[in-house]
Amino acid sequence: MGPSFCADIFRPVGGETVPAIVMWGPYGKSGTGLLNLHSYHYEPVYLPIAFFGYEDFEGLVLAEWVPRGYAIINVDPRVLVTLRVISAGGVLVKVKTAITLWRSAKLPWTIAPLEGLSDLFKEDCFRGDIPWTTFARSIADILPGRQQQEDIGAMVDPYTVTNDYLEDKRAYFSKIQVPAYIGASYSSDIHGVGSLRALEEIPHENKWLVLHSTEWHDLYSQDRTRDLDKFFGYYLEDIKKDWPQRSPVRLALLNFTKPPIVNKEFLDLLWQLPSAASRQLYLGSDFKLATENPLQSRTSHL
């Protein structure tokens, strides 16, 4: 017998079949963990929505989504800290929960990763081949559970290249076959790369990326809620509207002294467009970029 999972299920009144949104993360369910938005006191001044205290950290708000006809399932993964791969449990519990609670001949699936982290080694602990485990260790210190976690920081420190353990933590987007709504932001350096790589590597066309200029504020904005609701409605409730006609990529363009330009539409990531050109440049001893490899080199120390 496998591990047991605890979950809080919030659903609309009535007994009809409804689509379920599974919120799964390592921070504890329904606001019970040390990390929650109430503890940051962001709601009155930063987040454009009211919270009730039962939301998962960085999860969807019950007061918004249950009235829209969705069940919210907050799963507590704390029993998983004794297992080898924490991330695997999220997939298993989604399958088991959806099949057990809402049996249906047709069970459509979607995913909506609103902040990506697909390779903890390359995107956080060893970005640019520079070891930095501060964030990973700080998160490990606040996770609830039996305190028998994998020590990812210790696995990173002795190595200068990847290894089987770290590769096991990497998400392989080529295996994703379901429609995907991918969020990304400029607010954190640990999330953007994974979201962009997801759009590049998911092997089908039913994928959409929104790169916005904020993180939590955008997640809880009315614009994001309505947009995500249309995505779920099209695939989970068979509301056949104009969702597939949306631009596959919507970007926020940051200005230095002015507000960002948001929802700029593109057919693909900019470096994937047919009009994009790739050039290799070299840094010369005069600190200028050149198209040819400079013959002279110079070493200096600050």
How many structural domains compose the chain?
A: 3
Is there a domain that residue 257 lies in? yes
Q: What is the pLDDT of residue 287?
A: 84
Residue 223 belongs to domain with CATH number: 3.40.50.1820
User: What's the confidence (pLDDT) of residue 38?
Assistant: 66
Residue that is written with structure tokens 């982290």 in the block: 117
Instruction: Kindly state whether residues 63 and 129 are assigned to the same domain.
Output: no
Contacts 24+ apart (CB under 8 A), 29-35: 29/56, 29/74, 29/75, 29/76, 30/54, 30/55, 30/56, 30/74, 31/55, 31/56, 31/57, 32/76, 32/144, 33/57, 33/142, 33/143, 33/144, 34/142, 34/144, 35/142
How confident is the model at residue 178, as a pLDDT? 92
pLDDT at 261: 92
Instruction: Tell me whether residue 208 is in a domain.
Output: yes
pLDDT in the model for residue 200? 95
Q: Which residues of the chain have pLDDT under 70?
A: 1-4, 36-51, 77-107, 144-148, 157-160, 296-300, 302
Asked if the structure places residue 300 within a domain, the reply is no
Domain that holds residue 226: 108-117+171-277
Residues 187 and 100 in one domain: no
- CA dist 183 and 251 (Å) reads 10
The reported pLDDT for the residue numbered 207 is 96
In a domain, 267, yes or no: yes
Residue 290 falls within a domain, yes or no? no
The reported pLDDT for the residue numbered 106 is: 54
The pLDDT of residue 203 = 96
Strands (E), 117-229: 180-185, 207-212
Pair 113, 238 in one domain: yes
Is residue 97 domain-shared with residue 205, that is, in the same domain? Answer: no
In this predicted structure, what is the pLDDT of residue 45? Answer: 45
* Judgement on whether residues 53 and 131 belong to the same structural domain of the protein: no
